[in-house]
Structure 1
Amino acid sequence: MSSPSSNISLAILDDYPGIAPKHFSHLSELKIDSYPETLNAAKQEGIDALVKRLQPYQVISTMRERTAFPAELQSQLPNLKLLLTTGPRNASIDLEAASKQNIVVTGTVGGKPKKPENFSTDDVPPPPEGNSVNQHSWALLLGLCARLARDDSALKNDPQAWQSGLAIPLGGKVLGLVGLGKLGTLMAKTAVQGFGMTVIAWSANLDQDKADKAAEGAGLAKGTFKAVTKDELFRQADVLSLQLVLSERSKGIVGERELGMMKESALLLNISRGGLIDEAALLKVLKEGRIRGAALDVFWEEPLPADSPWRSKDFKSEVVLSPHMGYVNAGTMNKWYEEQAENVERWLRGEELSNRMN
């Protein structure tokens, strides 16, 4: 816990929709600046630009896994005392380096805003059963199956366009999940109840007993979810969805071998993290049309650079992309910033902070 001095400055990073300032504006002690465009700290020019931008600030508000804070960057920010991020973890912040630099890092837990009267009903976070990540997962998958992006573009740009392909029905198909945690279970429940799909799942620690407990916890019958081997998952799935947290163990868990086992008619959905898949291998599969299609909300470098191969139209497979929108809803974002502002107030008063990460 630090006792701040006067003339405190706060930099708000990565706030693309511009909703953060209203949460901090009542703190008259702060000088607030916003920098919505993300700079890539994985490149030296990005580090240099971030150092130049952020050196004056004692407090920085950032969005989870947008701007990274590696040790090299933190060591060149001598004024930084409080680094605010969103969510309960942020793999792009070097917490050990922060501790060595005496930088306190705090996260958020989410929930219902304490002051909903300040916002519209859209600003209230969805309940667990209406999880926005699950909603976006299905929006992407259904959009891919219904050819929405392709047909929308065709109808708007070609006066002769009409029914140029076939939609993909999901009823009775096999949903294969890489991971059966909270989000995987939500998706599986939707698949079973909404579309009559069969659900199989694999992860390094998953067995049938755990799969049964996940099904029963979701209000479904024991045996509804079937635990299978990794090879069985990739060979049997009509829709393959990644539901894992990115870690050193899970990085690249889907590679050329696994993609090569998928059915030519299969669809791939990734709304977790780009790094779970070997990017070069996936690009090759999609450009050669070796699976039916893919829907991606996450990428290996975000935001996508202008020259990203994902901006190409040179895919034989159907490809639908969205810019990491799974968690980007007004309710969740406003609650996160509300929690950040509360921690800044505590810090200004010299009080203990909530949701410390280091």
Structure 2
Amino acid sequence: MSAPVKIAVLDDYQGISEPKFRALDPAKYEVSFFKDTLLPYNHPDTPQSVKDQLVTRLEPFTVISTMRERTPFPRELITRLPNLKLLLTTGNRNLALDLPAFQERGIPVAGALGGSDSTTEHCVALVLAAARNVAQDDLSVKTGGWQTVPTVGLGGKVFGTVGLGRLGAAVARIMAVAFGMRVVAWSDNLTQERADEKARETGLSVEDQDGEKTFRVVSKEELFRTADVVSVHLVLSDRSMGGIAARELEMMKPSAIFVNTSRGPLVVEKDLLDVLEKGKIRAAALDVFDLEPLPLDSRWRTTIWGQDGRSRVLLTPHMGYVEEATLNVWYDEQIKNLQRWQRGEELVRSLY
């Protein structure tokens, strides 16, 4: 009888995957779960000892299940995993995987699709929480205080979406319909014609009753100068990485709110921290960061936000997609792909 296939399941903080993988025949599969995320192999601050620790952890396994970009797989790491024969990830895009390196090694990589409105809902929740000062007021009440600072209304204000893809358009639609916000949009290749199509796709008219475009395309500069809420909805790529920096952030109104539920590296983190520490905008609400999980000594964790002239800051731990139903679908698809791979069948949603 052949030895069981060794499987590593990485970074499933909620344990959604465990009953699914444990239901596999233990005579055929030996599954290990790792909930502590080590520093990324390719991060400049990762010491060689931690790189070696990651290799030691992963080297025994034939199959690895990974969650989004939590554990990157650069070429150098892939070459140090001689036993790896299958990589299962979640979603249909993962910039943290060196797909050409996997392909050269003949290692199949399969994604999983379980779409929902989770990130859209989380983004809207962050916008509202920042505008209504929810986090600080909650802390005040729980620690013996009462009201803190006045909140701000959104009605008739300008919502600026940096990116008008599926998520950007969905959030913009909610802000326009629910709160009467005027929407402006920008991305490198966005045209007014395409923005009009997006309005139609979301069930809105191209123009409002005053003849103004529902999703009005503007320059990058105009968006950052005029928006009361700036929300980032770009796909992370070599071109978009670091595209929001001091120049853009310092254009924002002192009363503005900055929101990022896309990817941390889209924004130059040091520049955003500097702007917020100087209190140049009202607030920021962030679900994503350059390095995740955030180190305990991160400036995001150690700074006392909202005091001594600093902006108010609301932080969540990359929860935009962490919805139980979505995670269940993703891991169900991973199990099916694992079984297809063992039978020699074509994988569903191969990433190359």
TM-score of the superposed pair, with normalisation by structure 2: 0.93
The 8 Å contact of residues 140 and 148 in structure 2, kept in 1 or not, is answered as no
SS state at 2:265 partner: helix
Aligned ranges 1:2-151 → 2 under 5 Å: 6-28=3-25, 29-40=28-39, 41=41, 42=43, 43=46, 44-110=48-114, 126=116, 131-151=117-137
The 8 Å contact of residues 7 and 62 in structure 2, kept in 1 or not, is answered as yes
1:169 aligns with: 153
Q: Deviations over 1:175-194 (max 9, x none)?
A: 00111110011011101110
The 8 Å contact of residues 89 and 112 in structure 2, kept in 1 or not, is answered as yes
Q: Deviations over 1:264-312 (max 9, x none)?
A: 1111000001111111111010000000110000000001011111102
Call closer, same or farther: CA 1:6–1:350 in 2, change over 3 Å. farther
1:194 aligns with: 178
Once superposed, which parts of structure 1, at least 4 consecutive aligned residues long, lie more than 4 Å away? none
Q: Deviations over 1:289-342 (max 9, x none)?
A: 000110000000001011111102333101000000000010000000000000
| Residue 142 of structure 2 is aligned to residue 156 of structure 1 | yes
Q: Deviations over 1:27-83 (max 9, x none)?
A: 211001100111112223332111111111100100010011111111111110001
| Residue 351 of structure 2 is aligned to residue 351 of structure 1 | no
How many Å separate the matches in 1 of 2:9 and 2:202?
Answer: 38
How many Å separate the matches in 2 of 1:47 and 1:104?
Answer: 23
How many Å separate the matches in 1 of 2:193 and 2:319?
Answer: 33
How many Å separate the matches in 2 of 1:25 and 1:348?
Answer: 17
2:330 to 322, 326, 336: 336
2:210 aligns with: none
The 8 Å contact of residues 27 and 345 in structure 1, kept in 2 or not, is answered as no
1:184 to 168, 171, 174: 168
Amino acid at match of 1:100: E
SS state at 1:93 partner: coil
1:324 aligns with: 318
How many Å separate the matches in 1 of 2:335 and 2:326?
Answer: 14
SS state at 1:261 partner: coil
1:115 aligns with: none
1:117 aligns with: none
How many Å separate the matches in 2 of 1:81 and 1:47?
Answer: 20
Higher relative contact order (CA 8 A, sep 6+): 1
Amino acid at match of 1:8: V
Pairwise CA RMSD? 1.1
SS state at 2:250 partner: helix
- % identical equivalent positions: 51
User: Structure 2, unaligned stretches of length 5 or more?
Assistant: 207-212
The 8 Å contact of residues 140 and 147 in structure 2, kept in 1 or not, is answered as no
How many Å separate the matches in 1 of 2:311 and 2:200?
Answer: 36
Amino acid at match of 1:11: A
Shift of 1:19: 1.1
How many Å separate the matches in 2 of 1:89 and 1:134?
Answer: 18
SS state at 2:160 partner: strand
How many Å separate the matches in 2 of 1:278 and 1:299?
Answer: 10
User: Structure 1, unaligned stretches of length 5 or more?
Assistant: 112-125
Amino acid at match of 1:191: M
How many Å separate the matches in 1 of 2:202 and 2:349?
Answer: 28
Amino acid at match of 1:172: G
The 8 Å contact of residues 185 and 217 in structure 2, kept in 1 or not, is answered as yes
How many Å separate the matches in 1 of 2:90 and 2:258?
Answer: 28
| Residue 244 of structure 2 is aligned to residue 244 of structure 1 | no
1:274 aligns with: 264
How many Å separate the matches in 1 of 2:227 and 2:341?
Answer: 50
How many Å separate the matches in 2 of 1:46 and 1:72?
Answer: 14
How many Å separate the matches in 2 of 1:234 and 1:286?
Answer: 15
The 8 Å contact of residues 10 and 34 in structure 2, kept in 1 or not, is answered as yes
How many Å separate the matches in 1 of 2:320 and 2:235?
Answer: 14
Shift of 1:24: 2.0
How many Å separate the matches in 2 of 1:105 and 1:47?
Answer: 22
Amino acid at match of 2:231: S
Shift of 1:229: 0.7
| Residue 293 of structure 2 is aligned to residue 303 of structure 1 | yes
How many Å separate the matches in 2 of 1:349 and 1:21?
Answer: 22
